[in-house]
Amino acid sequence: MELEGKVSLVTGASRGIGRAIALKLSSLGSKVAINYREGEVAANSVVREIVSQGREAISIKADVADSEAVKAMVQRVSAEWNKIDILVNNAGITRDNLLLRMSDKAWDDVLNTNLRGAYLCTKFALQPMIKQRWGRIISVASIAGLIGNAGQTNYSASKAGIIAFTKSVAREVGSRNITANAVAPGFIKTQMTEKLPDAIKESILSMTSLRRFGEPEDVAEVVAFLASDRASYITGQVISIDGGI
């Protein structure tokens, strides 16, 4: 129970990778706030699963791109448990299209949720972390942010931005015993990736050294490590979880 007594806030935690991360952190002893924008039923299901295991969890509806909503969310977590130790910036969306066909709204929606969301959540969560002189910020980027992906210029740009953002934050807050790292998943089996055409799935599979797709739990394990004291001397790093693309 290496996270016993810790408090975690996981954004976009009602399903997929976020859900797996929330469950993993809880299994290690952390109290967990489950953020969601849509999917209240799914978010509450995660809370019930955690509570059924004798752990503490709450769900909080908030759009991570909305400054006031994020501020209120952080205040709610702090009021519930008096602190925030671990922030996982997981909330993300896709609006795929070729660049020449991409609408301004599709660009703005993805950058606002994926990148602005990480900025706002980190900005507000840092305040209690700095006061207690301990914190872990872990942001979910993507392999697309490292190598790009056709049809995902908006998504790739947002995830590349998260990587640079993470490295900069690590430099700013390291002296306060706060680490900032990112993970870059490859093809992970979630509701989001299941929507991809079979031809694209096969193409990705052929590029993956392990010849299989990842599970949300594969990402959750690395996030849990980065949240623990075992990773206390790791900051400003990006760990790819992609099966060897």
Is beta strand 238-241 parallel, antiparallel or unpaired with respect to 135-140?
A: unpaired
Residue 205 placed within a domain: yes
| 103 within domain boundaries | yes
127: left (phi over 0), alpha (psi -120 to 50) or beta: alpha
Q: Is residue 2 part of a domain?
A: no
* pLDDT at position 195: 75
Please write down the HEC assignment for all residues of 161-191.
HHHHHHHHHHHHHHHHCEEEEEEEECCECCH
The pLDDT value given to residue 173: 98
Q: Count up the domains in the chain and report the number.
A: 1
Q: Does 126 map to a domain?
A: yes
Residue ranges making up the domain that contains 158 = 7-241
> Considering the domain boundaries, does residue 31 fall inside one?
yes
| Cβ-contact 201, 187 below 8 angstroms | yes
Which one from 36, 119, 155, 233 is the annotated catalytic residue?
155
Task: Give me the residues of the chain with pLDDT under 50, please.
Answer: none
Q: For 82-128, how does the pLDDT look when each residue is reduced to its tens digit (9 = 90+)?
A: 999 999 999 999 999 999 999 999 999 999 999 999 999 999 999 99
Q: Is residue 15 part of a domain?
A: yes
**Is 155 annotated in the active site?**
yes
- How many CB atoms are closer than 10 A to CB 98? 10
CA 176 to chain centre: 22
Note the pLDDT of residue 202. 86
CATH number at 63 reads 3.40.50.720
59, two tokens: 């769900």
- Asked if the structure places residue 193 within a domain, the reply is yes
Does 1 reside within a domain?
no
**Alpha-helix runs per DSSP H in the chain:** 16-27, 40-52, 67-81, 104-111, 117-132, 144-147, 153-173, 191-194, 198-207, 216-227
Which pLDDT does position 198 carry in this prediction? 85
